[in-house]
């Protein structure tokens, strides 16, 4: 994954002031969808207005003109989707294995982002095993720096994922005292589909979840307000998910925002990591990411499955903690 494009530097004193007292467990800000966010509301209204206007044209245009208009819109969306895929950088050459016989993986090395004015990660926590695996992944790859913000997206009613995020942040605050690890918040959204929920009502809850996802992707962190930091923390640089349905919804919304030029092209990069438990076939969410091609990085943790799917092979990413216990 290429490093985010540099932006104008901000005074370091502001960073230190804003990050103080934000990494202690129990003091993590929990953000609800409800709130006075005019920017997010404007984006949501724009996305809702587009299909409404399209349907309104059906009342004033002939069927042939309406069909042509729809064809043009679909052609634009398809072309933008392909353009975004073509612009993605390929993997860098793989490092050799210790014995020099074959590469360990085709994954790119973690870029050095310590000199950038802003580094903003958004992690979509599912529930249970999905959350535990993603927490392990963050633990094994984490590098603290004052210019970083982390947002954990959890679904309504998922108290276990919230507890996991708070425990992880407790470890981070111990490993990186004095606000050297940046800032953090937790964002709650509607779950895309509840357990045993009827398939008839699932489309509605998915739409509600998508509306909440827009807020999660565009609501600037209060600890990194635009008044002090400009718009450097308005949109996440990287979205990381590993399988829950809500992770696909958030990623799909991010892709739509990029298709319609509503966010900068160097933001909302999606990294999907297939669960370690999937060694022979992809999960349903993994298949959706593979078929739609919306992930900038599609990673699997078993070499055989990587060959079958064409995904990047990452040896189990959570087995070597970078943080002390």
What's the token pair of residue 316? Answer: 């189990």
Task: Give me the pLDDT at residue 91, please.
Answer: 62
Q: What percent of the chain is modeled with pLDDT above 90?
A: 34
> Averaged over 152-160, what is the pLDDT?
88
In this prediction, residue 293 carries a pLDDT of 94
pLDDT surpassing 90 at residue 272: yes
The whole-number average pLDDT for the span 219-239 is 89
Per-residue confidence (pLDDT) for residue 316, from 0 to 100: 66
The whole-number pLDDT of residue 250 equals 94
Q: What is the mean pLDDT of the chain?
A: 80
Please state, as a whole number, how many other Cβ atoms lie within 10 Å of the Cβ of residue 244. 27
Q: What is the pLDDT, as a whole number, of residue 9?
A: 43
Question: What pLDDT score was predicted for residue 259?
Answer: 94
Helices and strands, number each (H, E), in the chain? 10, 8
pLDDT for residue 6 is more than 90? no
Q: What is the pLDDT of residue 13?
A: 36
Task: Extract the runs of DSSP E, i.e. beta strands, from the chain.
Answer: 29-31, 119-124, 148-155, 183-189, 238-241, 269-273, 297-300, 312-313
**Which tokens go with 112?**
């050095």
Whole-Å CA distances, 281 to 105, 271, 292, 309:
19, 19, 17, 9
The answer to whether residue 3 scores a pLDDT higher than 60 is no
Res. 177 pLDDT band, cuts 50 70 90: confident
Please write the tens of the pLDDT for every residue from 33-88. 765 566 667 777 767 777 777 777 777 778 888 888 889 989 999 999 999 998 88
Contact 47, 77 (CB under 8 A): no
pLDDT digits (tens, 9 = 90+) for 297-325: 999 988 888 888 888 888 766 555 567 66
pLDDT of residue 25 exceeding 50: no
Strands 119-124 and 148-155: what pairing? parallel
């Amino acid at each position: 994954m290429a490093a985010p494009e540099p932006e104008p530097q901000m005074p370091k004193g502001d960073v230190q002031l804003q990050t103080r007292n934000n990494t202690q467990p129990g003091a993590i800000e929990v953000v609800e969808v409800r709130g006075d966010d005019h920017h997010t509301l404007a984006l949501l209204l724009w996305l809702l207005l587009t299909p409404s206007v399209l349907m309104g044209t059906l009342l004033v245009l002939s069927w042939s003109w309406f069909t042509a208009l729809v064809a043009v819109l679909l052609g634009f969306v398809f072309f933008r989707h392909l353009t975004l895929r073509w612009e993605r950088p390929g993997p860098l050459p793989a490092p050799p294995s210790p014995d020099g016989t074959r590469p360990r993986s085709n994954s790119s090395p973690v870029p050095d982002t310590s000199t950038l004015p802003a580094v903003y990660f958004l992690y979509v926590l599912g529930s249970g095993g999905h959350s535990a695996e993603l927490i392990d992944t963050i633990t094994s790859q984490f590098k603290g720096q004052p210019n970083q913000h982390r947002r954990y997206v959890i679904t309504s009613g998922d108290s276990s994922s919230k507890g996991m995020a708070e425990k992880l942040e407790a470890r981070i605050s111990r490993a990186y005292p004095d606000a050297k690890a940046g800032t953090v918040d937790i964002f709650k959204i509607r779950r895309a589909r509840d357990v045993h929920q009827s398939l008839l009502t699932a489309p509605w809850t998915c739409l509600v979840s998508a509306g909440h996802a827009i807020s999660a992707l565009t609501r600037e962190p209060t600890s990194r307000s635009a008044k002090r930091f400009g718009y450097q923390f308005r949109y996440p640089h990287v979205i990381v998910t590993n399988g829950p349905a809500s992770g696909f919804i958030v990623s799909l919304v991010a892709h739509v925002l990029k298709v319609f030029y509503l966010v900068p092209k160097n933001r909302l990069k999606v990294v999907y990591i297939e669960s370690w438990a999937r060694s022979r076939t992809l999960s349903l969410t993994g298949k959706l990411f593979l078929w739609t091609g919306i992930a900038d990085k599609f990673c699997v943790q078993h070499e055989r499955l990587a060959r079958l799917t064409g995904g990047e092979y990452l040896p189990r990413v959570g087995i070597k903690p970078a943080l002390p216990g």
